[in-house]
Amino acid sequence: MEEDGMDVEIIEHHPEILGSRESLYRRKQRLRDVEERDLSYFDFIGQNECRKVVVGLFGFKGAGKTALGKVLGGRSVIRGTKACFPTETPYEAERGCTVHVHPTTVFLSGENGISRIMTLLDTSGHMDLMSETIRVLGQIDVAVLVFDVRDDLSLQYELILDAIGENSKPLVVVFNKMDLVEEEFGDLVARRLGHLRGIIGARVHPREWFVGSVKDARISRMGEQATGLAEDSEDGLDGLIEEIFWQVPVEHICDCKAECLVGFLCVEGMVLCNMVPRDDISTGSVVTVQNVDLVVEKLYLPFPGCLVESKTVRSNVGVLVKALEDPLRRVVLSSSQESLMSMARKVLERKTVVYTNPGFLEIPGPVVRVRVNPADKEGFLGEAWKLELVYRDLEIAGECLSGNGELFMDAVLYDLRNSLGVRFEVLSVSSNLKEVFGGSFREEAESLVIEGGQATGAKCWCPGEIERRILEAGPLLGEPVVHSYLKVSSRSGDVGLECLRKVGNSVAKHTAVLEPLYLVEITHAKDAEDLVSEVISSSFGEVIHQSRFPFSTLESTLCYLPVPESFGFETDLRVYSCSTADCVKMPLYWRPVNDRNRSSRLAKFIREIRRPRDS
C-alpha cells in the first residue's frame, strides 16, 4: 500500500497484535517526518553488518527470559507505547507462557552512542517445544540464558547448554530474581551460584555473567564473590547490551536458502514466515522454504509493540514475511525431534543412565492424539494446514491430530478454535500407539509367495509386499486375516486357505504393541519422596535415576512414564505431594508393552479406533 509517496506503512493499533491501546506510530501529519526519518536511519544502519546482532533468549520454568526481552525492547527508538512482543498469541497471553518463537527488532540509537540493531528471538520454555527451541540456535549470533537463582540445573538447562556448545554459540548468562532472595539465604544462594557457575563454565565457557532483577530492569555484572545486586545495577543493562554486541560472529549454520527460516506464526489468520534473512529481501523477492519457492507479498518489521510494513529489509534483521498462499500450502516441514533425543541420551549418560535394553526403539513421532467430531471435518481441514506450519511437529490425518505433549495439543486446539475460527468438538484424547513385527515374522513374510487363480495366472503380491500391506492396514492383533487386508485375488475361491492361515498365525505371534515413553524429571522435597514413588508406580512408571541438588533441600527423580498412563499425572503429583513436587515431561522412546494385561487392553483400543465407522 502506498500513501503520499511513503515507502513504508505504519500498522495501526490492533488489540490482538499490539496489546496496547495506542501506538507511537500513528499516521499523524505532525509525526510523519519523524517516522520517515527514523525508518530511513534504521535502513541506513541496517546496511552495516557490524551494527547488527541476532540474540536468542533461553530460559525455563518462569526464569524471566520473556521479561528480559521486553526490558531490552523498551530501549528501542521505534516502538509502541507498551514494550511487548507484537506477535504474542491470545493463548500465550492467557496462559502466561511462551509457545512460539517471537521476533522483536530493537533499534538502539543513543544521542552519544553508536546506533545498532538487535533482533531478539524469544523461545519457548516448555519441554513440549524443546526441539524448536534448540533449532533456533542455527539462526542466532549470541545466546542469552536466564536462570532463576532459586532453581537448580534441570534437565532442560542441561539440554540447551549441550546444544549451545555443539553450535559453538557465544553465551551470556543472567541469574535472575535476586530480589526474591531473603537476606538470611544470601550465603546459600552465593554457594549455589558458585556451584552452577562452575558446572556451566566447564561446559560452555560463557562470555560474561550477570545477576539481577529483570522485572525491575536492575542488572549488574557478576563478580567472583557476587551475592547480590551492585549499587549501580540500574546501568547494568547497558553493560549487557555491550556484551551482546562484543565480537559478534558472522557465520551461521546453513544448508540451503531455507536457512533463514526461524518458523511460522499465525497473526490475524495470516500465516507469516518468521525469518532472519542472510541477504537483503524486498517485496516481490523469492525465498525458498523446504524446496518451495515463496513470492514475498509483504514484509513486516516486528518492533516492540507494533508491526511496521516495509518494502525492503536488510540482511540479518528479523522480519515477518507474508507470502502467496498457494505455494505456502505446499511447504512440508520436517520433524526436529531426532536431534533432541540424541542430546537427551548424552545428558542421561552423564548421569550414569545407560541404555542396554534392546526393547527401546528410537522412533520419533507424535505421542498425544486428538480426534475431532467427523461432522466438523470439512471446515476443520480447510484451516488445519496453517497449524501444520505454525506447529512443526503436528501431524494431521483425517479428523485426527497428533503432537508432542499435552500443552502442545492444548495450544493447537486453542488456536484452531479461537485464532482460525473453526468450530469443532473433541471426541477423545489419547496416546498414539504403534505396532512392531519381530524378525521371525519378516523372514516368514519374505518367503511367502501367494499365487493368483487360474483365471489371472499371475502373482498378486511380490515378496516383502505382504508386510508392507499389513503394516498399512493393521492392526491385526487377535484378529483374523480377512480379504480386506490381503487382496490376494479378485475371486475368494482362488485364495490359498493354508497360506492365509500361516500368515494369520505369524501376525498374531510376532506382532507387539509399542507405546511411547515420557522421560520425566520430578523435582520434589525430601519428605515427599514416598508419595512421589507411589504416584510413579500407580502410573506404571520406572525410576531410572535419583539425586539431590547441591546446596538445596530439593531432590530430583528421573523416570520413564508410559504416555497412555500419563494423563493427569502432573495433577496427581501436585495434589498428593501438597504442591511440594513438580515435573517436566519429554517424549523420548517407543517401547514394546511387556505386561500382558496392558498389551491386551491397548491392542483392543487400537482395533476400536481403527475400525471403520458407519457412515
Judge whether residue 210 has pLDDT over 90: yes
Q: Cβ(143)–Cβ(169) under 8 Å? A: yes
- 15 upstream amide cis, omega within 30 of 0: no
CB-based contact 39:308 (threshold 8 Å): yes
C-alpha distances out from residue 232 to 144, 177, 218, 235, 421, Å? 21, 17, 9, 6, 50
Distance CA 391, CA 408 (A): 8
**For residue 497, pLDDT beyond 60:** no
pLDDT computed for residue 506 by the predictor:
62
Give the list of residues 6+ apart from residue 261 with CB closer than 8 angstroms, or none. Answer: 273, 274, 275, 289
* pLDDT in the model for residue 233: 54
pLDDT at 462 over 80: no
**What gap in Å lies between CA 104 and CA 497, rounded to an integer?**
67
pLDDT, tens only, 400-413: 899 988 899 999 99
Query: Of all helices (H) and strands (E), which one includes residue 210?
Result: strand 208-213
Q: Is the pLDDT of residue 607 over 80?
A: no
Question: In which band, very low, low, confident or very high, does the pLDDT at 159 lie, cut at 50, 70 and 90?
Answer: very high
**What are the angstrom distances between the C-alpha of 499 and each of 176, 300, 504?**
69, 64, 9
What is the rounded distance in angstroms from the CA atom of residue 530 to the CA atom of residue 416?
41
What per-residue confidence (pLDDT) applies to 62? 86
Distance CA 263, CA 272 (A): 9
Quick one: CA dihedral 22, 26, 29, 30, positive or negative?
Answer: positive
Cell numbers standing for residue 376: 466438523
Report the pLDDT value the prediction gives residue 16, as an integer from 0 to 100: 42
Q: Please state the rounded mean pLDDT for residues 91-120.
A: 88
How far is CA 295 from each of CA 286, 298, 319, 484, rounded to the nearest angstrom?
5, 9, 15, 45
Q: What share of the chain is helix, strand, coil (3-state, %, to 5)?
A: 40, 25, 35
State residue 252's pLDDT score: 47
pLDDT of 378 reads 78
Q: Identify the weakest region by mean pLDDT among 75-79, 279-283, 335-339, 450-454.
A: 450-454
Q: What is the pLDDT of residues 365-381, one digit of tens each?
A: 788 988 888 778 777 88
pLDDT in tens, 413-447: 999 988 888 888 888 888 888 877 665 555 555 55
* Mean pLDDT across 265-292: 90
Contacts of 373 (CB under 8 A, 6+ apart): 399, 424, 425, 426, 427
Domain assignments of the chain as residue spans, ordered by start: 51-245, 435-512
Band the pLDDT of 184: cuts 50, 70, 90.
low
Q: Residue 434 pairs with which residues in a beta bridge?
A: 514
Answer whether 236's CB lies under 8 Å from 219's CB: yes
**Dist CA 434 CA 160 (whole Å):** 30
Predicted model pTM = 0.83
**Strands 281-282 vs 312-313: parallel, antiparallel or unpaired:** antiparallel
pLDDT band at 303 (very low <50, low <70, confident <90, very high): very high
Alpha helices in 205-336 (DSSP H): 236-245, 325-328
Distance CA 131, CA 391 (A): 11
Whether pLDDT at 573 is above 70: yes
Give the domain 51-245 fold.
Rossmann fold (3.40.50)
Residues above pLDDT 70, as percent of the chain: 74
Q: Which residue has the higher pLDDT, 25 or 157?
A: 157
pLDDT of 196 over the 80 cut: yes
Question: Which percentage of the chain shows pLDDT scores above 90?
Answer: 31
Return the sign of the alpha-carbon dihedral for residues 560, 565, 570, 573: negative
